[in-house]
Amino acid sequence: MVWALVRVIKRGITNLCSSEPRVFPKSGWESIDPSYFIEEETIPTYRPEKFYPAHIGEIINHRYQIVGKLGYGSSASNRGHAYITLKIYTASTTLTREIEIYNHQKTIQSNHADSHRTHTCLVHPPLGISLDQLTPLLPGQVMTSAMVRATMRNVLAALDFLHTEAQVIHTDLQPNNMLLGIKDDSILSKFEQAELDAPVARKTLEDRTIYTSRPLPISLGTPVLCDLGEARVGTDQQQGDIMPDVYRAPEVILGMTWDYKVDIWNVGMVVWDLLKRRHLFKARDPDPHALLRSPPGEFLARSEKCSQYWNEDGQWKGAAPLPDYSLESREEKLHGDEKQDFLRFLRRTLC
């Protein structure tokens, strides 16, 4: 997928927020050697014929003009104002999971989707940089505990809506799916002007141009939970692999059915990442048992796979030795009551 910032152009005299198309430079950018892989080309599953060959300045559906590239991904390459974000999916013959989720939510909140031939597009209000992009810009490359608390209050409110009202499990909470809101729309016009003044580097191929993404500046809006591309309708008795390795909940690893509580496990993982700038578990750790102690018997009974790692009393018998550390020993940043409150919250999310 490709994310593009687009301008709403004139479509009838009543559309007061629209504007005339802009004319972008035809030269003046750095040309990248075609032999180098950049952006979406670095995705292991990249196939150029699946990606829509969008170009800056292009007008889509007689309504939207692309003014810059915000980013890219593997599956998909405020309406009242002049700018929106267009998420252009790779070519597919089936309806994507994300649109299924949006269709499911239509009775709860309004969403909009457009199609361009075989490339489905989602139209969203523009948002700022992700928390994954924000944290390296902060002192020590981590958030303060106050920033994490404020952020997670919004994330938990979003999950409360998904779980209790929409009956949806997100399944993919991570810092790059949490974006800052935009209070000052001037950063969008500055983004567009920057492309006019200093076009981004790009590589020109026979059938397409691949642009480098232009980052947005830091915005000060409320964090927003995004990307429902891996979400599931229904909050219990789900099956199948979900979540990146470093965030994967134990019931998923052990092949059990799972429910909305995998999102709560994810909350704990993300909180630790934002405070520490490192993951709580390694991607291939066999077991979080060292930090959480013996799992309860009713949990072990849910999967035959558990018998490979624990005996009937819940004691670890796996081949890999357990590391000698605890949550308390791994938490070195906070002190006193704040540390105890944090660890209590973290244990509840993980248990």
Please list the active-site residues: 172
SS3 per residue for the chain: CEEEEEEEECCCCCCCCCECCCCCCCCCCCECCCCCCCHHHHCCCCCHHHCCCCCCCCEECCCEEEEEEEEECCCCCCCCCCEEEEEECCCCCCCCHHHHHHHHHHHCCCCCEEEECCEEEEEECCCCCEHHHHHHHCHHHCCCHHHHHHHHHHHHHHHHHHHHHHCEECCCCCHHHEEECCCCCHHHHHHHHHHHHCCCCEEECCCCEEECCCCCCCCCCCEEECCCCCCEECCCCECCCCCCHHHCCHHHHCCCCECCHHHHHHHHHHHHHHHHCCCCCCCCCCCCHHHHCCCCHHHHCCCHHHHHCECCCCCECCCCCCCCCCHHHHCCCCCHHHHHHHHHHHHHHHC
Pairing of strands 119-124, 202-204: unpaired
Residues 129 and 179: beta-carbon distance below 8 Å: yes
- Give 31-35's long-range contacts (Cβ < 8 A, gap of 24+): 31/201, 31/202, 31/203, 31/204, 32/201, 32/202, 32/203, 32/212, 33/203, 34/203, 34/204, 34/205
